[in-house]
Structure 1
Amino acid sequence: MLNRTHAKLSSKTYRHKVFIDASCVVITFISVYAISSYLNISDNYYLWARQYEKSLDIDELLPAMLASLIALLWFTKRRINESSLLIKNNHSLLHRILEVQESERKRIARDLHDDLGQYLSAIKAQAASLLVELDSATEIHLTAKSIAASADHAYVATRNLMHSLRPVALDDLGLSAALEHLVDTWQSINFEAKRVNPETKHTNYILAIEGDIDELKDSAKIAIFRIIQEALTNCAKHAHANTIHVSIVKHQENLKLSIIDDGIGCDTKLPSFGFGLLGIQERVDALNGQLQIISGHKLGLKMFISIEASA
């Protein structure tokens, strides 16, 4: 069975890479020492250096090389510190960008509700008034009926757009209730699609929450909601799964999120796969979390996310 794992560079994987690099240095040192001992390089070098000792200060080469090595190590340490600072600044910038994005989403949703929503309600009410006053056989009555239906459709579409921009349940009831509403919505969409087209694949959506996730910071709550929202959207479009299972476990300062489906899976090395998960990866990065994805052809998809609850 072929599994492909896609993991973003995180603190854990970074330490693993450092360990590998350190191991390579140690292995190189031991190898050079063994070869030098076997070929007796030190004695041969001494004999060779004595030939030029009077004209060249070969014996002073070792301190110079040692000084160069120290300078190289210092330069490398500076570059590592600069890279760490850049990574930290990038995380802060990404976090700020996501905050501004959510603030703008909230403003647009509020404007849609206050302005467009009221106008659509007024159009629907006026059309309903015409339906009552006019003879049902007249052309104007039919037009008013069509206007009322169009206004109702536009109102529903606007409401769905508002919920997508800013989930009302998240602000009013908390993360747990918002996620339950999100999963129920996807389940209802699947039921409706199945009713309209019996050939539509039935998908069972399951949500399991362990621990109090409503006490998380607002930035973490909205990030988790958006991650699950994006993941469910991707699953609904591409997975063709029988079951999609979402699990959240909060234990002390750690939070584990998993999204698993039994669909057709995909090749994690394809560029299109990375593009589809870019938004999820950005939100995980903003929380200094870790993302691991395991998938393969006809093997479904498993997404594991780990973050600090205090992030």
Structure 2
Amino acid sequence: MKVLPYLADHKRHQQIIYIEIASVLITFIVAYALSSIFNVSDHFYEWAQQYENTSDIDELLFALLAFLFALMWFAKRRINESRKLIKHNHGLLQRLLQVQEGERKAIAQHLHDDLGQYLNAIKAHAASLLIDDTSNDDALFAAQRISSSADHAYDASRRMMHSLRPVALDELGLSAAIEHMIDIWKISGKTEKVTEYRLKIIGNLDGLSESTNIAIFRIVQESLTNIAKHAHATEVFVFIKQSDALLTITVQDNGIGFDINQKTAGNHLQACYGLLGIAERVEALAGTLNILSTPSQGTAIKVEIKTT
């Protein structure tokens, strides 16, 4: 399977750093071996002796060493600055996501308080018409239509409120909230193609911070939404494991998959956009994200987050 790199894939960047360090060491070893074979130091000494009277060429080695140490100091300083900048960006992104969740919570609360109240009032008025003996058939039919429409609108608003701010996450905790979300996907008919959802949770998910809980919930939610929109899958497996201060989330489907070489075309581009929200949440938690996909063989999303 092919790996699609994203912003949060720090392991790939670490591997690049290790490769570069290994390249420097190999270059040093090769240079030392060639110098030993061709007696470079002896030839350099003989060449330097020719110009000893006109210049301090033999002092060049110490100048080069000083220059090398200066470069090393500068590189270390830039690395430290980069780490501070990355840490600062993580904080900004996490703060942005917290503000976003706060706005979602406020909108969900307004929907519950205002829209829900009016829908209940409409349904109550329709019910009063239905039990009124003086109402004619047309009025009764209209009352039934109004009551039915109010029910549909109320159900739609509840689904909207749940997507904006999952009540189960606040009341029951992360594990129960994810189980509840999977149950909703099973029975709500959000996609006609997926016939089986499987969920497996290993370890205790209690004790995580609120921001981590929300991020994990959203990662699973956005993964399922992306599968429903683009994967054409019939089976979805969600696996969550907490062990040794490392939380692993895997969401896998048996859908159509995609070729990373064509990820900018058509639906593949939309699928990638759908995964950007996941990448941003993982990035905010300084985690890693790997997306594995092969055409006709499905897609797997794997997230790793340190919980200490």
Q: Scaled by the length of structure 1, what TM-score is found? A: 0.89
Gaps of 5+ in 2: none
* Matched letter for residue 135 of structure 1: S
- 2:277 aligned partner: 279
Q: CA RMSD in A?
A: 2.1
Q: 1:7-61: per-residue Cα shift (whole Å, max 9, x none)?
A: 4455544443332111101111122223333333322223333333222222222
**Structure 1 segment 73-112 matched on structure 2, within 5 A:** 73-112=72-111
Instruction: Tell me, yes or no, if structure 1 residue 168 matches structure 2 residue 160.
Output: no
Instruction: Tell me, yes or no, if structure 1 residue 259 matches structure 2 residue 247.
Output: no
Distance 1:148 1:104, change over 3 A: same
Q: Does the CA-based 8 Å contact 1:247-1:257 persist in structure 2?
A: yes
Larger displacement relative to structure 2 (83-92 or 244-253): 244-253
- 1:135 aligned partner: 135
**CA distance in structure 2 between the aligned counterparts of 1:108 and 1:80, rounded to whole angstroms:** 42
Q: Does the CA-based 8 Å contact 1:247-1:258 persist in structure 2?
A: yes
Percent identity of paired positions between Structure 1 and Structure 2 = 52
Tell me how far 1:168 sits from its aligned partner: 0.9
Higher relative contact order (CA 8 A, sep 6+): 2
**CA distance in structure 2 between the aligned counterparts of 1:146 and 1:15, rounded to whole angstroms:** 62
Q: Secondary structure, in 3 states, of the residue corresponding to 1:266? A: coil
Larger displacement relative to structure 2 (264-273 or 56-65): 264-273
**CA distance in structure 2 between the aligned counterparts of 1:214 and 1:71, rounded to whole angstroms:** 49
- 1:197 aligned partner: none
- 2:239 aligned partner: 247
Counting matched residue pairs gives 300
Q: Does the CA-based 8 Å contact 2:194-2:236 persist in structure 1?
A: no
* Matched letter for residue 73 of structure 1: M
* Matched letter for residue 242 of structure 1: T
Q: Does the CA-based 8 Å contact 2:129-2:135 persist in structure 1?
A: no
**CA distance in structure 1 between the aligned counterparts of 2:208 and 2:260, rounded to whole angstroms:** 31
- Given the alignment, which residue of 6, 26, 31 partners 2:4? 6
- 1:196 aligned partner: none
Tell me how far 1:161 sits from its aligned partner: 0.5
Q: Scaled by the length of structure 2, what TM-score is found? A: 0.89
Q: Does the CA-based 8 Å contact 1:247-1:259 persist in structure 2?
A: yes
**CA distance in structure 1 between the aligned counterparts of 2:11 and 2:149, rounded to whole angstroms:** 54
Gaps of 5+ in 1: 194-199
Q: 1:186-233: per-residue Cα shift (whole Å, max 9, x none)?
A: 11133x86xxxxxx4342001111222133222211111100000011
